[in-house]
Structure 1
């Protein structure tokens, strides 16, 4: 289905959209331009009609962008690859942003599949436990393609990719015409901190001293778990989108577990009873293929096993959304 969602001719990124990244503020960049001076206002963004997951009709610029801080990504409900990982990861970001969601910043996920209805989008959002301040939007296919180009969320290569889009997140300070691109699957703590810094939020906590920083000692398995698995799983912190993995290496056959991590879509498609039971139990959210190699899988399973046997196992410390250091930040 995804190959028909976007025609290659419609996916070439406009030069104007590329300019969205040029306007990012940096240290010493001076004050942000006045809203009236920004080229990324009502004359740039189309004010097309979209429909929320609750069936409400909204206008893209007037209702969703004007005067707001926003974070926008693309998705579709039948996606079996990166979309579930994006959504699960952004749920953790949403939790870290706390009360700012729906007040200081708004999340928008735009469906690129014209068959995704508000009803399907709402069911998808509920599967992942999405909270207030986050809209899942659908609209006419031509309008969605136009928005993707204007937002800098479409590329010529997307048409032939597995998902039909890239796992990008555009963060915008619309009032000041400032936009920033991030990976929607980046570490949640890093993403939430980056968003706050970009928007100029002041933390109530004093900044820690670099002198207090401890040396990083992160093995391959921990790095891969935190960057590929922690959006959906914990080790002793309880279920998220997927099951808590505490002790999973003791409960499951090692060969089965390794293959399921390596190619989950094939195991489920074969009707494997364990995979099918997990699919049903966890709201029919498919485990995405996070593109690990055989050696990577060994490292991840070894980390889960060691973590499960550690004194901290079951204390809930893994319930914290991610480890910024695990992404090298």
Structure 2
């Protein structure tokens, strides 16, 4: 999985300048036309299951009839008790939702389906969505365990022979597609948010929205090779944190901005926090509890980082802080606002 994440980060650096946010937010010359059903497409009612699912607001909806028929959709499977990948998926898709703006719920639809429906009641899912400040148009869904397992298998996210009850080993891919045109693909929810937004907002709509603000490729940023620490930040951390980015208000972070964190916190504490944040919370570490309470009780996920990865990540955060907030010779260390 790490290889896919790194590729996504590298592609994102090259393509940011080529993506029109005007189109993603619907600020185009005209509205996007509804998808047209592809003649002879195998991806119709006969292929997809149609189980009843229940949204975080208690609405009962059929998977095919109500959720995907004739729509452009993004579908992933999560469970709220997950301590590592699911929070990161949700945070990353929240960034994609922000980039797409009001189009989510109109001509693009987000669905997160629980693989732990016995625990993830509509009320639990609503609380989870609220923690991540999820906007309108994104449904969190629960239902019958056997029917959801069959749906995962049909969508290619549960291999034959895999035990659906082994929640921690669930497939980390998601499905995006246009049911009407029959275009479906697997994607990584950890992909660069601009690329995911572009696929959902443009390519899956067959580029129907005319761009009233064309891009100038001469202004696109040059591709450079990121360090190991930067790769880790972009693929693991940027879903929930900013690092003094200018677009921070556009992709508002769930957790604290990390610029200056290596000056603010003790190095040893940062090492322990990055390796096992869940353990520090269980031990009621005062700083860990303080951060948990301050940031809407969203727990820092365990990223499964080893010693080498932790040092690479801390080194990158330290270098970026020095680059953006250089210390003056002979002065006290720069102040960091939190």
Q: Please, what TM-score do these two structures have when normalized by structure 1?
A: 0.79
- 2:199 is aligned, of 194, 202, 219, to 194
The secondary structure found in structure 1 opposite 2:168 is coil
Name which of structure 1's ranges 287-296 and 100-109 shifts more when overlaid on structure 2: 287-296
Q: Please, what TM-score do these two structures have when normalized by structure 2?
A: 0.77
Cα deviation, 1:86-119, whole Å, max 9, x if unaligned, reads 0000000111112321112100000111221111
Structure 1 position 277, deviation (Å): 2.0
1:244 matched to 2:257: yes
2:53 paired residue number: 50
2:83 paired residue number: 80
The secondary structure found in structure 2 opposite 1:163 is helix
**2:116, 2:167 within 8 Å by CA — same for their partners in 1?**
no
1:150 paired residue number: 154
**2:72, 2:204 within 8 Å by CA — same for their partners in 1?**
no
- 1:121 is aligned, of 113, 116, 125, to 125
**Alignment coverage as a number of residue pairs:** 282
1:15 paired residue number: none
Structure 1 position 190, deviation (Å): 2.0
Structure 1 position 42, deviation (Å): 1.2
Seen in structure 2, the aligned counterparts of structure 1 residues 312 and 64 have a Cα distance that, compared at 3 Å, is farther
**1:71, 1:170 within 8 Å by CA — same for their partners in 2?**
yes
Unaligned stretches of 5+ residues in structure 1: 1-31, 314-329
Structure 1 position 159, deviation (Å): 5.0
1:132 paired residue number: 136
Q: Where do 4+ consecutive residues of structure 1 move more than 6 Å?
A: none
1:111 paired residue number: 114
1:232 paired residue number: 240
1:283 matched to 2:296: yes
**2:37, 2:70 within 8 Å by CA — same for their partners in 1?**
no
2:335 paired residue number: none
CA distance in 1, matches of 2:204, 2:95: 19
Cα deviation, 1:121-176, whole Å, max 9, x if unaligned, reads 01100111111111000101111111111111212457586723122110010011
Name which of structure 1's ranges 33-42 and 255-264 shifts more when overlaid on structure 2: 33-42
CA distance in 2, matches of 1:107, 1:162: 21
1:1-329 maps to which residues of 2 (within 5 A)?
35-114=38-117, 115-155=119-159, 156-157=161-162, 159=164, 163-195=168-200, 196-201=202-207, 202=209, 203-209=211-217, 214-236=222-244, 237=248, 240-311=253-324
CA distance in 1, matches of 2:163, 2:215: 40
Name which of structure 1's ranges 200-209 and 285-294 shifts more when overlaid on structure 2: 200-209
CA distance in 1, matches of 2:166, 2:192: 23
Seen in structure 2, the aligned counterparts of structure 1 residues 34 and 218 have a Cα distance that, compared at 3 Å, is same
CA distance in 2, matches of 1:144, 1:279: 32
